Amino acid sequence: MTDHKITIAIDGFSSTGKSTVAKQLAKELSYVYVDTGAMYRAITLYAMRKKYITKDTFDEESLIKDLPSLNLKFAFEASRGFAAIYLNDENIEDEVRTLEVSQYVSRVAAVSKVRAKLVSQQQLMGLEKGVVMDGRDIGTVVFPNAELKIFMTATAEERAKRRFKEMKEKGQEVSYDEVLKNVEERDHLDTTREDSPLVKADDAIEIDNSSLTLEEQFNTLLNIANDVIAKPN
Ligand code: DC
């Protein structure tokens, strides 16, 4: 029974606090945490540096050509308490969190060849179960057979408020209106793209955390996870 590891898929809109609770759960259960959004952000940062993507243009073909040479990995960093994302051995954890990357990432994440590469890497990372993975398509595409699927929601205003606070704390120069606009634009692009749009899996448990504290949210999810883990496989 103690070896009964499961796969926990956490999907939902941007800035719903998926990664916060996913990290807490992974730590509590001694599972591996995988932030799939960071992987899409890493490819986006690469495309921005190469000027393949700008405000008005997107050279998808050049990006697709370079995909085989892009090596993504996570490595645990004690000072952060979680694994940071690396692109070709460069730690880009801070750089992928800027508003600029957030403004481009949904366009890059809509490219099927980008998704195919990242989905297969994610499936390998979760092969042995004991994983908490958060993203947009984890319960629908990456692990359709996950034992536990969570779908997180909260109002756009609440999410923008949280994201704004987080960015300010990191010293980033942004306005609340810019952040709200980005949240709304990404909701639209992520839910309307052709390949793997953000949708709630039929068997996912929906949690609206607009009025939950972090502690309430964590306890709710931990109880649900422990119930699933305790069930015989
Ligand atoms: O979770 P995040 O905000 O860091 O994700 C950044 C973007 O990446 C998000 O707007 C949509 C995309 N994404 C995706 O399409 N599929 C995933 N599994 C994770 C993220």
Residue 231 lies in a domain: no
Is residue 29 in some structural domain?
yes
Tell which residue, 111, 133, 130, 110, has the closest CA to residue 121.
133
Please list the pLDDT of the chain residue by residue as tens digits (233 residues).
Answer: 455 899 999 999 988 989 999 999 999 999 999 999 999 999 999 999 999 999 999 999 999 999 999 999 999 998 988 899 999 999 999 999 999 999 999 999 999 999 999 999 999 999 999 999 999 999 999 999 999 999 999 999 999 999 999 999 989 899 999 999 999 999 999 999 999 999 999 999 999 998 899 999 999 999 999 999 998 87
Say if ligand 1 is within 6 A of residue 186 CB: yes
The CB of 105 under 6 Å from ligand 1? The reply is yes
Give the 3-state secondary structure of residue 133.
strand
Closest C-alpha to ligand 1, atom 11: 106
Give the domain CATH number at 78.
3.40.50.300
CA of 37 to the centre of ligand 1 (A): 4
Residue 66 lies in a domain: yes
pTM assigned to the model: 0.94
In the Cβ-directed half-sphere of 86, how many Cα atoms lie within 13 Å?
A: 12
| Rounded Cα distance, 226 and 229, in Å | 5
Indicate whether 149 belongs to any domain.
Answer: yes
Q: Whose CA is nearest to atom 9 of ligand 1?
A: 106
Please report whether residue 44 resides in a domain.
yes
Number of domains in the chain: 1
Compute, in angstroms, the gap from residue 136 CA to the centroid of ligand 1. 6
Distance from the alpha carbon of residue 34 to the mean position of ligand 1, in angstroms: 12
CA distances to 39, 44, 82, 85, 175 from 148, rounded to whole Å, are 22, 29, 22, 25, 36
Q: Which domain holds residue 65?
A: 7-219
Q: Are strands 32-35 and 72-77 parallel, antiparallel or unpaired?
A: unpaired
Does 58 reside within a domain? yes
For residue 228, being part of any structural domain is answered with no
Q: Rounded to 5, what percent of the chain is helix, strand, coil?
A: 50, 20, 35
9 CB within 6 A, ligand 1: no
d(CA 87, CA 70): 7
